[in-house]
Amino acid sequence: MRGKLVVGNWKMHGGLRQNDALFADLRNGWAPAEGRRLAVCVPFPYLWQAQAALSGSAIAWGAQNISEHATGAFTGEVSAAMVAEFGCRYVIVGHSERRTLFAESDAVVAAKAAAAMAAGLTPIVCVGESLQEREAGSTEAVVSRQLDAVVARVGRRIAETVLAYEPVWAIGTGLTASPDQAQAVHALLRARLHSVDAGAADAPVLYGGSVKADNARALFACPDVDGGLVGGASLKAGEFLEIASA
Protein backbone atom coordinates (compact mmCIF):
# COMPACT_ATOMS: atom_id res chain seq x y z
CA MET A 1 0.00 0.00 0.00
CA ARG A 2 1.58 3.25 -1.13
CA GLY A 3 -0.98 5.44 0.61
CA LYS A 4 -1.48 9.10 -0.21
CA LEU A 5 0.86 12.03 0.25
CA VAL A 6 -0.26 15.63 -0.23
CA VAL A 7 2.39 18.36 -0.27
CA GLY A 8 1.76 22.09 -0.29
CA ASN A 9 4.08 24.25 -2.37
CA TRP A 10 3.69 27.78 -1.06
CA LYS A 11 5.99 29.19 -3.77
CA MET A 12 6.98 32.79 -2.91
CA HIS A 13 4.00 33.46 -0.68
CA GLY A 14 3.70 33.98 3.04
CA GLY A 15 4.50 36.32 5.88
CA LEU A 16 5.14 35.72 9.58
CA ARG A 17 1.64 36.56 10.75
CA GLN A 18 -0.29 34.84 8.01
CA ASN A 19 1.94 31.76 8.33
CA ASP A 20 1.17 31.54 12.04
CA ALA A 21 -2.53 31.40 11.25
CA LEU A 22 -2.11 28.88 8.43
CA PHE A 23 0.14 26.57 10.47
CA ALA A 24 -2.29 26.70 13.39
CA ASP A 25 -5.26 25.95 11.16
CA LEU A 26 -3.45 23.03 9.55
CA ARG A 27 -2.26 21.65 12.84
CA ASN A 28 -5.70 21.93 14.41
CA GLY A 29 -7.54 20.66 11.36
CA TRP A 30 -5.44 17.69 10.31
CA ALA A 31 -6.63 14.39 11.68
CA PRO A 32 -3.90 11.87 10.84
CA ALA A 33 -5.28 8.79 9.16
CA GLU A 34 -3.74 5.49 8.15
CA GLY A 35 -1.96 5.79 4.81
CA ARG A 36 -2.36 9.59 4.67
CA ARG A 37 0.57 11.99 4.89
CA LEU A 38 0.63 15.77 4.72
CA ALA A 39 3.52 18.21 4.25
CA VAL A 40 4.16 21.84 3.38
CA CYS A 41 7.15 23.25 1.47
CA VAL A 42 7.72 26.85 2.52
CA PRO A 43 10.16 29.65 1.58
CA PHE A 44 13.59 29.35 3.28
CA PRO A 45 13.08 32.18 5.82
CA TYR A 46 10.05 30.39 7.23
CA LEU A 47 11.61 26.98 7.80
CA TRP A 48 12.28 27.80 11.47
CA GLN A 49 8.66 28.88 11.82
CA ALA A 50 7.40 25.67 10.23
CA GLN A 51 9.64 23.72 12.59
CA ALA A 52 8.36 25.62 15.63
CA ALA A 53 4.72 25.36 14.59
CA LEU A 54 4.62 21.80 13.29
CA SER A 55 7.10 19.86 15.48
CA GLY A 56 5.27 17.10 17.27
CA SER A 57 2.38 17.22 14.78
CA ALA A 58 1.67 14.73 12.01
CA ILE A 59 2.50 17.37 9.38
CA ALA A 60 5.97 17.37 7.83
CA TRP A 61 7.67 20.35 6.22
CA GLY A 62 10.30 21.06 3.63
CA ALA A 63 11.96 23.55 1.32
CA GLN A 64 11.30 24.38 -2.32
CA ASN A 65 14.84 24.35 -3.64
CA ILE A 66 18.46 23.75 -2.59
CA SER A 67 21.87 24.24 -4.09
CA GLU A 68 23.45 21.28 -5.84
CA HIS A 69 26.67 22.19 -3.99
CA ALA A 70 27.45 21.13 -0.43
CA THR A 71 29.25 24.32 0.66
CA GLY A 72 31.41 27.09 -0.75
CA ALA A 73 31.43 30.46 -2.47
CA PHE A 74 27.91 30.42 -3.90
CA THR A 75 26.44 33.76 -2.84
CA GLY A 76 22.73 33.59 -2.21
CA GLU A 77 22.51 29.80 -2.30
CA VAL A 78 21.26 27.49 0.45
CA SER A 79 22.61 23.97 0.96
CA ALA A 80 20.68 20.79 1.69
CA ALA A 81 22.49 20.43 5.03
CA MET A 82 21.33 23.91 6.08
CA VAL A 83 17.75 23.09 5.26
CA ALA A 84 18.04 19.75 7.07
CA GLU A 85 19.04 21.59 10.25
CA PHE A 86 15.51 22.99 10.39
CA GLY A 87 13.94 19.56 10.60
CA CYS A 88 12.86 19.37 6.96
CA ARG A 89 11.86 16.01 5.60
CA TYR A 90 11.36 17.10 2.00
CA VAL A 91 12.76 19.43 -0.61
CA ILE A 92 11.23 20.09 -4.01
CA VAL A 93 13.76 19.88 -6.85
CA GLY A 94 13.27 20.58 -10.53
CA HIS A 95 9.98 22.44 -10.26
CA SER A 96 9.08 23.75 -13.71
CA GLU A 97 9.42 27.32 -12.45
CA ARG A 98 13.03 26.53 -11.51
CA ARG A 99 13.64 24.82 -14.84
CA THR A 100 12.18 27.60 -16.97
CA LEU A 101 12.72 30.82 -14.98
CA PHE A 102 16.09 29.87 -13.47
CA ALA A 103 17.41 27.72 -16.32
CA GLU A 104 17.91 24.57 -14.26
CA SER A 105 18.98 21.74 -16.55
CA ASP A 106 18.19 18.05 -16.11
CA ALA A 107 21.76 17.58 -14.86
CA VAL A 108 21.42 20.32 -12.24
CA VAL A 109 18.10 18.89 -11.06
CA ALA A 110 19.71 15.45 -10.78
CA ALA A 111 22.61 16.92 -8.77
CA LYS A 112 20.12 18.64 -6.45
CA ALA A 113 18.27 15.35 -5.90
CA ALA A 114 21.58 13.69 -5.00
CA ALA A 115 22.53 16.59 -2.70
CA ALA A 116 19.18 16.32 -0.93
CA MET A 117 19.62 12.61 -0.30
CA ALA A 118 23.18 13.10 0.92
CA ALA A 119 21.76 15.40 3.61
CA GLY A 120 19.05 12.93 4.59
CA LEU A 121 16.22 14.78 2.85
CA THR A 122 13.63 13.24 0.54
CA PRO A 123 13.69 15.06 -2.80
CA ILE A 124 10.36 15.65 -4.50
CA VAL A 125 11.53 15.48 -8.10
CA CYS A 126 9.25 17.34 -10.51
CA VAL A 127 8.85 16.38 -14.14
CA GLY A 128 6.39 17.59 -16.75
CA GLU A 129 5.90 18.72 -20.31
CA SER A 130 4.97 22.14 -21.68
CA LEU A 131 1.83 22.65 -23.74
CA GLN A 132 3.94 22.81 -26.89
CA GLU A 133 5.61 19.51 -26.02
CA ARG A 134 2.26 17.85 -25.32
CA GLU A 135 0.82 19.09 -28.60
CA ALA A 136 3.89 17.83 -30.42
CA GLY A 137 3.31 14.38 -28.92
CA SER A 138 6.52 14.42 -26.91
CA THR A 139 5.13 14.17 -23.38
CA GLU A 140 6.51 10.66 -22.91
CA ALA A 141 9.94 11.60 -24.25
CA VAL A 142 10.17 14.71 -22.06
CA VAL A 143 9.17 13.16 -18.74
CA SER A 144 11.29 10.08 -19.44
CA ARG A 145 14.33 12.23 -20.19
CA GLN A 146 13.78 14.23 -16.99
CA LEU A 147 13.41 11.10 -14.85
CA ASP A 148 16.29 9.27 -16.53
CA ALA A 149 18.66 12.15 -15.73
CA VAL A 150 17.95 11.68 -12.03
CA VAL A 151 18.20 7.90 -12.26
CA ALA A 152 21.56 8.26 -14.01
CA ARG A 153 22.77 10.19 -10.99
CA VAL A 154 21.20 8.35 -8.05
CA GLY A 155 20.63 4.86 -9.49
CA ARG A 156 18.47 2.54 -7.41
CA ARG A 157 18.18 5.19 -4.71
CA ILE A 158 15.45 6.64 -6.93
CA ALA A 159 13.30 4.38 -4.74
CA GLU A 160 13.88 6.84 -1.87
CA THR A 161 12.54 9.85 -3.77
CA VAL A 162 9.07 11.20 -4.40
CA LEU A 163 8.21 12.00 -8.02
CA ALA A 164 5.76 14.70 -9.00
CA TYR A 165 4.23 14.80 -12.46
CA GLU A 166 3.34 18.42 -13.10
CA PRO A 167 2.28 19.25 -16.64
CA VAL A 168 3.56 22.80 -17.08
CA TRP A 169 0.35 23.84 -18.85
CA ALA A 170 -1.65 22.92 -15.75
CA ILE A 171 0.40 24.83 -13.17
CA GLY A 172 -1.34 27.91 -11.83
CA THR A 173 -3.59 28.02 -14.89
CA GLY A 174 -6.76 26.42 -13.58
CA LEU A 175 -6.37 23.81 -16.33
CA THR A 176 -6.02 20.40 -14.73
CA ALA A 177 -4.94 17.24 -16.48
CA SER A 178 -7.90 14.90 -16.72
CA PRO A 179 -7.65 11.80 -14.55
CA ASP A 180 -6.99 9.79 -17.74
CA GLN A 181 -4.21 12.12 -18.86
CA ALA A 182 -2.62 12.02 -15.42
CA GLN A 183 -2.94 8.25 -15.07
CA ALA A 184 -1.34 7.66 -18.48
CA VAL A 185 1.79 9.59 -17.54
CA HIS A 186 1.90 8.21 -14.01
CA ALA A 187 1.73 4.64 -15.34
CA LEU A 188 4.59 5.41 -17.68
CA LEU A 189 6.69 6.86 -14.85
CA ARG A 190 5.87 3.88 -12.64
CA ALA A 191 6.94 1.45 -15.37
CA ARG A 192 10.19 3.34 -15.74
CA LEU A 193 10.81 3.23 -12.00
CA HIS A 194 10.11 -0.50 -12.07
CA SER A 195 12.66 -0.99 -14.82
CA VAL A 196 15.33 0.55 -12.55
CA ASP A 197 14.41 -1.65 -9.61
CA ALA A 198 11.27 -3.53 -8.60
CA GLY A 199 11.35 -1.76 -5.22
CA ALA A 200 11.45 1.64 -6.90
CA ALA A 201 8.00 1.09 -8.37
CA ASP A 202 6.63 1.86 -4.91
CA ALA A 203 8.08 5.37 -4.85
CA PRO A 204 5.17 7.82 -4.53
CA VAL A 205 4.23 9.58 -7.76
CA LEU A 206 2.26 12.77 -7.06
CA TYR A 207 0.20 14.80 -9.52
CA GLY A 208 0.52 18.58 -9.54
CA GLY A 209 -1.10 21.33 -11.55
CA SER A 210 -4.26 23.15 -10.41
CA VAL A 211 -5.23 20.50 -7.89
CA LYS A 212 -8.29 21.83 -6.04
CA ALA A 213 -10.81 20.45 -3.57
CA ASP A 214 -13.22 19.77 -6.42
CA ASN A 215 -10.88 17.72 -8.62
CA ALA A 216 -8.58 16.01 -6.10
CA ARG A 217 -10.79 13.02 -5.46
CA ALA A 218 -11.02 12.02 -9.13
CA LEU A 219 -7.29 12.49 -9.65
CA PHE A 220 -6.30 10.62 -6.50
CA ALA A 221 -8.59 7.75 -7.43
CA CYS A 222 -6.29 6.90 -10.35
CA PRO A 223 -4.35 3.75 -9.53
CA ASP A 224 -0.92 5.32 -10.10
CA VAL A 225 -1.61 8.73 -8.57
CA ASP A 226 -0.33 8.70 -4.99
CA GLY A 227 -1.43 12.19 -3.99
CA GLY A 228 -0.68 15.72 -5.04
CA LEU A 229 1.72 18.63 -5.08
CA VAL A 230 -0.51 21.62 -4.49
CA GLY A 231 0.34 25.26 -5.15
CA GLY A 232 -2.38 27.89 -4.92
CA ALA A 233 -4.86 25.75 -3.01
CA SER A 234 -2.29 25.00 -0.29
CA LEU A 235 -2.50 28.60 0.95
CA LYS A 236 -6.07 28.11 2.18
CA ALA A 237 -6.16 25.73 5.14
CA GLY A 238 -9.72 24.56 4.58
CA GLU A 239 -9.26 23.68 0.94
CA PHE A 240 -5.82 22.17 1.48
CA LEU A 241 -7.14 19.92 4.24
CA GLU A 242 -10.02 18.85 2.01
CA ILE A 243 -7.53 17.91 -0.70
CA ALA A 244 -5.41 16.05 1.83
CA SER A 245 -8.30 13.81 2.77
CA ALA A 246 -9.66 13.39 -0.78
Catalytic residues: 95, 166
Footprint on this chain of ligand PGA (rule: CB under 6 A): 9, 166, 171-172, 208-211, 229-233
In the complex, which residue's CB is closest to ligand PGA? Answer: 231
| Nearer to ligand PGA (CB atom), residue 185 or residue 196 | 185
| Nearer to ligand PGA (CB atom), residue 196 or residue 203 | 203
| Nearer to ligand PGA (CB atom), residue 126 or residue 196 | 126
Question: Cβ of residue 186: shortest distance to ligand PGA, in angstroms?
Answer: 16
Question: Cβ of residue 239: shortest distance to ligand PGA, in angstroms?
Answer: 11
Question: Cβ of residue 7: shortest distance to ligand PGA, in angstroms?
Answer: 8
Q: Could you write out the DSSP letters of every residue in the chain?
A: ---EEEEEE--S---HHHHHHHHHHHHHH----TTEEEEEE--GGGHHHHHHHHTTSSEEEEES---SSSSSS-TT---HHHHHTTT--EEEES-HHHHHHS---HHHHHHHHHHHHHTT-EEEEEE---HHHHHTT-HHHHHHHHHHHHHHHHGGGGGGSEEEE--GGGTTTS----HHHHHHHHHHHHHHHHHH-GGGGGS-EEEESS--TTTHHHHHTSTT--EEEESGGGGSHHHHHHHHT-
C-alpha–C-alpha distance, residues 211 and 204, integer Å = 17
| Nearer to ligand PGA (CB atom), residue 12 or residue 16 | 12
Among 200, 178, 176, residue whose Cα is nearest residue 189: 200
Question: Cβ of residue 21: shortest distance to ligand PGA, in angstroms?
Answer: 20
Question: Cβ of residue 208: shortest distance to ligand PGA, in angstroms?
Answer: 4
| Nearer to ligand PGA (CB atom), residue 163 or residue 233 | 233
